[in-house]
Structure 1
Amino acid sequence: MFLNIGILLIIGFVTYSIQIGAEGRKTCPAHEEWTVFQRRTNGNVDFFRGWDDYVNGFGECDGDLWLGLESLHQATKRDDMSLEINMMSKGKNDHMWAKYRSFRIGPGSDNYRLHVSGYSGNVEDGLATINNEQFSTKDADHDGWRRLNCASYFEGGWWHDDICSWSNLNGNFNRTGLKGLRWWSGILGTPHALCYSEMKIYNRSAG
């Protein structure tokens, strides 16, 4: 089934295309078994954007991209999708990965709330503290911290709780520390600084 929401999408059985951003802007080929919805490789695409951009999607087909929250909701609302995240540490170039057996994004009326479960990986569970949290951007503050807009402070749209988030793959690619790309390394550890990230979904019931 095609989902005509500014993004054409077929998950699981046949090859499909994804259309990033406004209708008619850009159509990207995609793999028949999985869909990349987030990628950071070189910092050429600005991720410090407003709500509408994060809802509709932006970026380059073969480079940095964000597929769009509405398309993620449509693709995952049947609750049969899994999530895989691949990352590379800055400097050390260590490959890190995290998988979630269940991945679902809520509707826009609930600010695209994140739902994940069934974690496995070779790093800490970087989404544990923001599971069941709403998405925020610099112009749409939905986190639980009344005194601070976490997405604005950390320079990228993401899910945040009442103390923001220890992980943020949509931060400023050209910065280090908490405002850069990072993944949680545990309560006593320093977050992993990253030079690469890719998030992709696949239909776990398709075979």
Structure 2
Amino acid sequence: VFQRRWDGSVNFLRDWDSYKRGFGNQLTEFWLGNDNIHFLTSLGPCELRIDLRDFENNYYFAKYASFRVLGESEKYKLVLGDFLGGNAGDSLSYHKDMPFSTTDQDNDMSSFNCATEYKGAWWYNDCHYSNLNGMYWLGVHGSYADGINWKTGKEYHYSHKRTEMKFRPV
């Protein structure tokens, strides 16, 4: 597990250096750190699974055939394989081959900073279909696309209660 959202106890609106090193509490909410994720995913082929839970206690998942994060010199670019299925649908392939962005490192394809606009840090494209490091809102939220959103699930006005992103060797 390299990412978990659990209860809103950890602020995920952080700078490049925080995401590089990692932060949080592995028992509740955390980001393992882009350097660590890069190192572990470069050891050999990995598959990715994303688990989501909403505030009505429904569970959703998405699986991807391969997953790797490149090093800092390549801005932690997301190398993602085919979507293998899952009832959450595919809201990550849109981010394939995108570098990581934070509020202080704008590497997305948009004319504005997606991390600042949508209050997170992610492999933003122009801007996102998923934003699992966004704000921890309690389910339905009025603000647009700045929560823990997964577009193919509950779209841009619903923030999930719990998430886990995990990879394993294949």
Q: Same fold (TM over 0.5)?
A: yes
* RMSD value, Cα: 1.6
**Residues 83-122 of structure 1, C-alpha deviation per residue, up to 9 Å, x if partnerless?**
11110123x3210001112000011111000011131211
Q: Does 1:70 align with 2:35?
A: yes
* Runs of 4+, deviation exceeding 6 Å: none
Paired residues of 2:6 and 2:163 also in contact (CA < 8 A): yes
Measure how far apart 1:78 and its partner are. Answer: 3.9
Identity of aligned residues (%): 37
**Residues 151-191 of structure 1, C-alpha deviation per residue, up to 9 Å, x if partnerless?**
11111111111x200211000103634111110217xx734
SS state at 1:48 partner: coil
Q: Distance in 2 between matches of 1:140 and 1:181?
A: 20
Q: Distance in 2 between matches of 1:78 and 1:62?
A: 25
**Residues 33-76 of structure 1, C-alpha deviation per residue, up to 9 Å, x if partnerless?**
xxx10000111100000000000000002010000001111111
Measure how far apart 1:124 and its partner are. Answer: 1.6
SS state at 1:86 partner: strand
> Which of 165, 178, 195 lines up with 2:145 in the alignment?
178
* Residue of structure 2 in register with 1:124 after alignment: 89
| Aligned residue type for 1:108 | E
* Residue of structure 1 in register with 2:132 after alignment: 169
* TM-score normalized by the length of structure 1: 0.75
> Which of 62, 71, 83 lines up with 1:107 in the alignment?
71
Aligned residue pairs total 164
Q: Distance in 2 between matches of 1:190 and 1:52?
A: 29
SS state at 1:135 partner: coil
Higher-Rg structure is 1
Q: Distance in 2 between matches of 1:198 and 1:61?
A: 11
Paired residues of 1:79 and 1:102 also in contact (CA < 8 A): no
Gaps of at least 5 residues in structure 1 are: 1-35
Paired residues of 2:91 and 2:130 also in contact (CA < 8 A): yes
> Which of 95, 100, 116 lines up with 1:152 in the alignment?
116
Q: Distance in 2 between matches of 1:126 and 1:190?
A: 10
When structure 1 is superposed on structure 2, of 109-118 and 169-178 the one drifting more is 169-178
Larger RCO of the pair (alpha carbons < 8 Å, separation 6+): 2
* Residue of structure 1 in register with 2:52 after alignment: 87
* Residue of structure 2 in register with 1:133 after alignment: 98
Gaps of at least 5 residues in structure 2 are: none
* TM-score normalized by the length of structure 2: 0.90
